[in-house]
Structure 1
Amino acid sequence: MLRRRPKRFLFGLHLSGSIESALSIFSVYTGICEFSHRRWLVLGCLILGVTWASWPTMAEPSIPSDRHAVQLSYAPVVGKVAPAVVNIYTRRRVSTSSRSLFSDPFFERFFEGMPFGVPRERIESSLGSGVVIGSEGLIITNQHVIAGSDEIIVVLSDRREFEAKIVGSDDKIDLAVLLIDPDGEPLPFLEFGDSDGLEVGDIVLAIGNPFGVGQTVTSGIVSALGRSAVGLSDWRSFIQTDAAINPGNSGGALVNLSSELIGVNTAIFSRSGGSIGIGFAIPANLVRVIVDSLVAGGKAVRPWSGILGQSVDYEIGRALGLPTPRGMIIKAMHALSPAWEAGLKIGDVILSIDGHDIDNPQGLRYRMVTSALGVNIPIIFFREGKIFETTMQVVMPPEDPPRDVMVLEGSNPLSGATVGNLSPGFAQELGLEWTRIGVVVLRVESGYAARLGLRVGDIVLELAGEKITSTKQLLKILNQEPVEWEIKIDRGGKLMSVVVRL
């Protein structure tokens, strides 16, 4: 006859399989066919106690001690690098004039230049982040964080504040080096990592001061490497990451799990101003080179190749006989360039430089600027169906001809302009391609040049029917004082022509 189990036994149902199996064995062994309710309960509690005692105890929380353990928590990495990431606050004074009746466009026609508005001064503030890279107080940040500032305040992680001075800056790379005086106390700083050793998928942490809320850490992976076609600079080859980077993060640290600085957070792609998982950082290898040159001389050093090229697409690769479309084909080359000395020719396809693949002109520039001056770097290139190897010396672009800067005066259409001779070195300094030749306008003050509408960066190609190649030739023609002047100018790649009669 079946009997109902007592309700007081229901607490052990989750172990019923184990208990019933044990009881079955126990019954067979002892020959006992039935127990009272009390004996069932006692025996169940004994088995439950043995089972509970066999379960492992909860481990005490501990700090991860190796790479595998640290992947479970980023706290050890953050604890090591966070003290070296600082907040940067800048202030600048801006003078404005209050509007008056005479600010109306109608009255401006008659009273142009008259100081009717009352001048007012206001303070503009901005914020960003920075990274301590030297125990003596050397700090790096983005140049756009401190651009135009009258005062720079650095706030350390321990809330101490210091006024910083600018050691040097490079607006084309968007980097600035600052220095603070920590009163002789060594500061925690970050070591540079090898950004060339990064791989897509590596875990990275971004640390900064987004929106001024305070030091914030976000995590992500390396989404892509060698991002150059992002409209920011021809000299940089960005690390792309999906770690959240927001306004205020500029100049902050991008670190790896070895607590090394592998990038400086610089920009984001966003339509709203907030992070959508597409952020860009300047690679540490480029940062190191720029910092060394700024600290040494206050000016960035950029070697050149003297090459103009373009990426090899499918059609070009098939026409050249490349097995797969890769590399950069040479379209033009300067006669004084190190590439010319290395034996390269127009039509050659550069495949790699110093062991790094080259796929576009920006990648070539990046590899040149991150190479040490004076060394010979190996180049692998493709020519007429075969692969060759050569070496090219890393040098600075020459200033040939000399810049010969002069101010033009007298009764001529260029009076009031400051001009100079273009050369590969001078063109690079001005942000122009080395292919630009002639006489460039450096400054325009009062005079006929200002009335003519001449602008900084204009290149004088022809004057009075003669092709201009130097400032001395330009001055000689201006001294002839012809009745009519025909001037041809290159403005940003567009040709302009004007006839002037004085």
Structure 2
Amino acid sequence: MKQAIRQAAFVLLTAAFVAATSATALAGIPFFSKDELPSLAPMLEGTTPAIVSIAVKGTQPTRQQVPEMFRYFFGAPNNQAQERPFRGLGSGVIIDASKGYIVTNNHVVDNADEILVKLTDGRELVATKLGADEQSDIALLQIDAERLNELKVADSNNLRVGDFVVAIGNPFGLSQTVTSGIVSALGRSGLNIGGYEDFIQTDAAINRGNSGGALVNLRGELVGINTAIFGPNGGNVGIGFAIPSNMMQSLVDQIIEFGEVRRGLLGIVGRDVDAGLAEAFNSQVNIGAFVNEVAPGTAAEKAGLQAGDIISEINGNSLSGFNELRAKIASLGAGAEVELTVIRAGKTQKVDVVLDAAAAALAEAKEVHPALEGATLSNGKDSDGKDAVIIDEVAESSPAAGIGLREDDIIVGVNRNRVDNISELTERIADKKDVIALNVKRGNSNLYIVIR
């Protein structure tokens, strides 16, 4: 009986798969082999040559903790900086064969002194890094070679939960590994994986080494860049994440044009919409981004956004929450024109916004002090309306997290001296040769975080 049930289930699943992958429906790509069994092989034969293996080597800084009692003998500070060599493996996707452009994750090539790309035909080529963005975990490489294959980039806004997808990469150094699954969720954020999160979640198996590889639809088009897994000990448990192709393409276009990512800035403070907020503000939409505050002189104020607005869509695509809006705005870039769907007093309206440049206001905290690495700072206001430095993000297991900094902390001083912006914070810290005490506001509390 159990065997019969299993066989019936297999027949139903196969029928559903065949219906979803009709031999004539997907741009003429046949999904049947000679014996008429459904197969992804024809699609993969044209797709996998665009997926490359990436090997890197380089050095990265570490800090050796020297116990107090031995410092006299070693003549070293408590956290002496050292360089440690490393090697790593990852994956990449060729998106432009004529120019040799390869997209991968920033964490695959970060701090690399040498990047070696291996193609499916056995060729090995040294790649040049054209640019990268740590907060969104995207990097653009270039190789000089002929006879390359590229993937067509699809519109990731057309993805739906339940769509079939295939992950291609080099997990554990096993080149050209293919796994399949479905889109499990869209617009995932709040995972503390990166600074700007708007992930595609999939149950296609993603493991170490898949980073930077391709997530493709059944047409063989690129819909995402595999970037992370969620599971114990780094093993696959059916929860993987990919950066949407639209987000990737916007960032890559900025790197190609400017050599860097120039983030867009809307100029609002907000939170996720819930049922209580929706009812209080007479909204029929229970998800989206709620506007708590509109900063003066920003793109949001110029466009007419108001505190109490609920932003339900961006460029006609629905929003799951504030973090998704924040990630999309940042990746679209300065000067981008954006159409927001806004619910105000129960009525829906369209608001056109031209985004400001956020690059001048944002800084990596490691540029201020090594102990702050892993945090992202911006100029802002404290609860009293005074200028201060805001902690926008704190990466998990980073030095900044280790000293006790948290997201939304507000730095208002260094060693009891007031600081109003990142520039002043940098100057104050540079003046201190020994102990540095950051005066931090956290909610309604004031505290000191000590850096030695």
Of 86-95 and 133-142, the range deviating more from structure 2: 86-95
Could you give the per-residue CA deviations for residues 331-368 of structure 1, whole angstroms, max 9, x where no partner exists? Answer: 12210211111111111212222212223211212332
Deviation at 1:79, TM superposition (A): 0.5
d(CA) in 2 for partners of 1:475, 1:233: 24
2:57 corresponds to 1:91: yes
TM-score (normalizing by structure 2): 0.73
Corresponding residue for residue 125 of structure 1: 87
The correspondence for 2:199, drawn from 232, 238, 252, is 238
2:380 corresponds to 1:435: yes
Could you give the per-residue CA deviations for residues 362-383 of structure 1, whole angstroms, max 9, x where no partner exists? Answer: 1212332344654543222222
Kindly indicate whether structure 1 or structure 2 has the higher relative contact order, using CA contacts under 8 Å at least 6 residues apart.
2
2:327 corresponds to 1:327: no
Corresponding residue for residue 489 of structure 1: 439
The correspondence for 1:295, drawn from 256, 259, 263, is 256
What does residue range 336-485 of structure 1 map to in structure 2 within 5 Å? 336-371=297-332, 373-397=334-358, 399=360, 431-436=376-381, 437-438=387-388, 461=412, 468-469=419-420
Could you give the per-residue CA deviations for residues 63-120 of structure 1, whole angstroms, max 9, x where no partner exists? Answer: 95653952721111111111110001112257999x9xxx9958615413269xxxx9
The correspondence for 1:248, drawn from 209, 220, 231, is 209
Could you give the per-residue CA deviations for residues 131-157 of structure 1, whole angstroms, max 9, x where no partner exists? Answer: 111213211111111122222111100
d(CA) in 1 for partners of 2:410, 2:340: 35
In structure 2, the CA distance between the partners of 1:208 and 1:219, relative to structure 1 (3 Å rule), is same
Q: Partner amino acid for 1:92?
A: G
Could you give the per-residue CA deviations for residues 394-446 of structure 1, whole angstroms, max 9, x where no partner exists? Answer: 2313858x99xxxxxxxxxxxxx979xxxxxxxxx9823553534799xxxxx
Q: Secondary structure at the match of 2:111?
A: coil
d(CA) in 2 for partners of 1:219, 1:472: 48
Corresponding residue for residue 6 of structure 2: none
Could you give the per-residue CA deviations for residues 195-248 of structure 1, whole angstroms, max 9, x where no partner exists? Answer: 001111111111111111221111111111111122223423111111111111
Corresponding residue for residue 444 of structure 1: none
Could you give the per-residue CA deviations for residues 275-324 of structure 1, whole angstroms, max 9, x where no partner exists? Answer: 11111000000110111111222211211110111112122222222235
Long gaps (5+) in structure 1? 1-62, 404-416, 420-428, 442-452, 478-486
Q: Say which structure is richer in strand.
A: 2
d(CA) in 1 for partners of 2:70, 2:62: 17
Alignment: residue pair count: 384
Corresponding residue for residue 169 of structure 1: 132
Q: Secondary structure at the match of 1:291?
A: helix
In structure 2, the CA distance between the partners of 1:104 and 1:297, relative to structure 1 (3 Å rule), is closer
d(CA) in 2 for partners of 1:387, 1:113: 67
Q: Secondary structure at the match of 1:435?
A: strand
In structure 2, the CA distance between the partners of 1:123 and 1:325, relative to structure 1 (3 Å rule), is closer
Kindly, what percent of the aligned residue pairs are identical? 38
The correspondence for 2:105, drawn from 142, 150, 157, is 142
Q: Secondary structure at the match of 1:267?
A: strand
Long gaps (5+) in structure 2? 1-21, 33-37, 382-386, 392-402, 429-436
In structure 2, the CA distance between the partners of 1:369 and 1:465, relative to structure 1 (3 Å rule), is closer
d(CA) in 2 for partners of 1:251, 1:358: 25
Corresponding residue for residue 207 of structure 1: 168
Structure label with greater radius of gyration? 1
TM-score (normalizing by structure 1): 0.67
Q: Does the 8 A contact of 1:294 with 1:300 survive in 2?
A: yes
